[in-house]
Amino acid sequence: MILFKKAADLCKWLDVQQKKGYAIGFAPTMGALHAGHISLVEMSKKNNPVTVSSIFVNPTQFNDQQDFQKYPITLEKDIAMLEAAGCDVLFLPSIKEMYPDEMTGRGVKPKIHYDLGQLENILEGKFRPGHFQGVCMVVHRLLEIVQPDNLYLGQKDYQQCMVITKLIELMQQDKKIKVNICPTLREADGLAMSSRNMRFNEDERKTAATIYQSLRFIKENIQQKNLAEVKLKAQTLLEEAGFRVDYVEIADATNLSLVNDWDGKQRPVALIAAFLNEIRLIDNMLLK
Ligand code: AMP
């Protein structure tokens, strides 16, 4: 695996690959890698002669400075995992490399305002103001550098997948980037793999799986007329386990418009965000 720290060096190398006609697959991450991240790399390896991954803990997408400071960093292990997965290139930029005109992360205002429509103000957008502008800022820059044919994202971050699809539309590049959404990898008890899980102690880690149980509860009990009731019961399950809930919602899986009256035909997705002590988790489940 080749490691690049400078965007210009990576671009030069990728130019050569593109001239050879090789398709480029890209799986961006914030590091502290787990099997979920590696599944994106594996999916890319299957379909592209060149696979690039990146590790960059993006300061502009953290609306909580403490969350940024405490974000786990396990670089040596990450490199070993990517190498074992056969990743061809790791891009490991500094903050200055990613945001050359800016000095630091937090408080840095994106120069562009990305028009994300309703995605900006619902669910994660509502509870993490500015988060998706930060995501767009970093992904825009990464996509301009890597110019992939295929982008690999995890369904775990459902709304983020939609935001990045919208960003690609807004970018209107000549080269078409295909967004590939990969299934959420889970632990044996159903907890979605997440870099944040390593911050839990043993008890918290066991309790954390209640999010998955709540999603299953919704999936198993949803009927046309009982959405408010199943959401409330799922929220109660979480609260009784000790979670502080940001939201339990059911939305249209195609555009994330919140669904209150389900016609039984629309494809719904249940989405949850909740804190267990100071650690915030998100997860989702397609209901049909
Ligand atoms: P992150 O490092 O958390 O920013 O995630 C990088 C990419 O990995 C994103 O596209 C995530 O959606 C994806 N991802 C994170 N957790 C999982 C998981 N459990 N299963 C599959 N993909 C995941």
Cβ 162 under 6 angstroms from ligand 1:
no
Cβ 58 under 6 angstroms from ligand 1:
no
**Lowest mean pLDDT across 1-5, 100-104, 113-117, 132-136:** 100-104
82 pLDDT higher than 50: yes
Cβ 78 under 6 angstroms from ligand 1:
no
SS (H, E, C) 128-154: CCCHHHHHHHHHHHHHHHHCCCEEEEE
Catalytic residue (choose from 37, 113, 131, 140): 37
Kindly give the number of the ligand 1 atom that is closest to the alpha carbon of 160. 12
Structure tokens at 180: 């590939």
3-state secondary structure of 284: strand
Instruction: Select from 67, 151, 157 the residue to mutate for testing ligand 1; criterion: most ligand atoms less than 8 Å from CB.
Output: 157
Cβ 282 under 6 angstroms from ligand 1:
no
Q: Whose CA is nearest to atom 8 of ligand 1?
A: 37
Contact 237, 231 (CB under 8 A): no
- Using 50, 70 and 90 to split pLDDT, how confident is the model at 174? confident
Q: Per residue in 140-171, pLDDT tens?
A: 999 999 999 999 999 999 999 999 999 999 99
- Using 50, 70 and 90 to split pLDDT, how confident is the model at 130? very high
- Using 50, 70 and 90 to split pLDDT, how confident is the model at 109? low
Strands 24-29 and 243-252: unpaired
- Using 50, 70 and 90 to split pLDDT, how confident is the model at 288? confident
- Taking the centre of ligand 1 as the mean of its atom positions, its distance from the CA of residue 35, in whole angstroms, is 9
- Using 50, 70 and 90 to split pLDDT, how confident is the model at 173? confident
206 pLDDT higher than 60: yes
Instruction: Select from 29, 81, 160 the residue to mutate for testing ligand 1; criterion: most ligand atoms less than 8 Å from CB.
Output: 29
Q: Per residue in 22-42, pLDDT tens?
A: 999 999 999 999 999 999 999
- Taking the centre of ligand 1 as the mean of its atom positions, its distance from the CA of residue 3, in whole angstroms, is 21
Catalytic, 34? Answer: no
SS (H, E, C) 97-118: HHCCCCCCCCCCCCCCCCCCHH
